[in-house]
């Protein structure tokens, strides 16, 4: 799975997520990636999220919207992502990762799997990471 979130100079956000799904999946199986609220969400009143990981688990907790719910409740984006990923792990034993940007420009890349390649560009600088 791949994904992106962005905040533009007008203060608007967007997300995009795309995937081939699970290797050896049943024909017709669909995970979270095309499902708004799970594979991603964007609302300029809050921020944007793109998700990756075990699709069925992400669908069960509506991962992207859950993270933005926590942001709405006043959590910082990193804490919101950790809280939601932790909930997914404890509730349905699902692992995954997310990238989040708030409408104020705060951002985070978080995951519970071993690895998730990510990169962020802001202020002319590029940050990136791979392992926890």
Within 13 Å of residue 103, how many CA atoms lie on the same side as its CB?
Answer: 14
- Our CB check for another protein shows the closer of 70 and 81 to be 81
Let me know: does 14 contact 30? Beta carbons within 8 Å: no
Listed in sequence order, the residues at least 6 apart from 96 whose beta carbon sits closer than 8 Å to its beta carbon are: 51, 52, 53, 54, 57, 58, 63, 85, 88, 111, 112, 113
Q: How far is the CB of 77 from another protein (least distance, A)?
A: 10
Of 44 and 83, which CB lies nearer to another protein in the complex structure?
A: 44
Contact criterion met (CB below 8 Å) for 19 and 33: yes
Least Cβ distance, residue 66 to another protein (angstroms): 16
* Contacts to another protein from residues 52-111, by CB under 8 A: 52-56, 93-101, 103, 105, 107, 109, 111
Structure tokens at 35: 């499902």
Q: Which is nearer to another protein, 66 or 99 (CB)?
A: 99
Catalytic residue (one of 1, 17, 52, 112)? 1
Consecutive H or E run containing 67: helix 63-72
| Binding-site member from 4, 75, 78, 79 for another protein (CB under 8 A) | 4
Catalytic residue check, 19: no
23 binds another protein (CB under 8 A): yes
User: Which residues are catalytic, by number?
Assistant: 1
């Amino acid at each position: 799975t791949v994904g992106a979130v962005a905040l533009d100079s007008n203060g608007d956000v967007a997300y995009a997520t795309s995937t081939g799904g699970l290797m050896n999946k049943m024909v017709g199986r669909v995970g979270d990636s095309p499902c708004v609220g799970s594979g991603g969400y964007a609302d300029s009143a809050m921020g944007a999220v793109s998700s990756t990981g075990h699709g069925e688990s992400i669908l069960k907790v509506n991962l992207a919207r859950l993270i933005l719910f926590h942001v709405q409740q006043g959590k910082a984006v990193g804490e919101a992502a950790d809280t939601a990923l932790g909930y997914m792990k404890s509730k349905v034993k699902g692992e995954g990762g997310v990238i989040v940007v708030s409408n104020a420009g705060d951002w985070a890349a978080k995951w519970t799997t071993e690895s998730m390649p990510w990169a962020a560009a802001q202020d002319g600088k590029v940050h990136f990471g791979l392992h926890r």
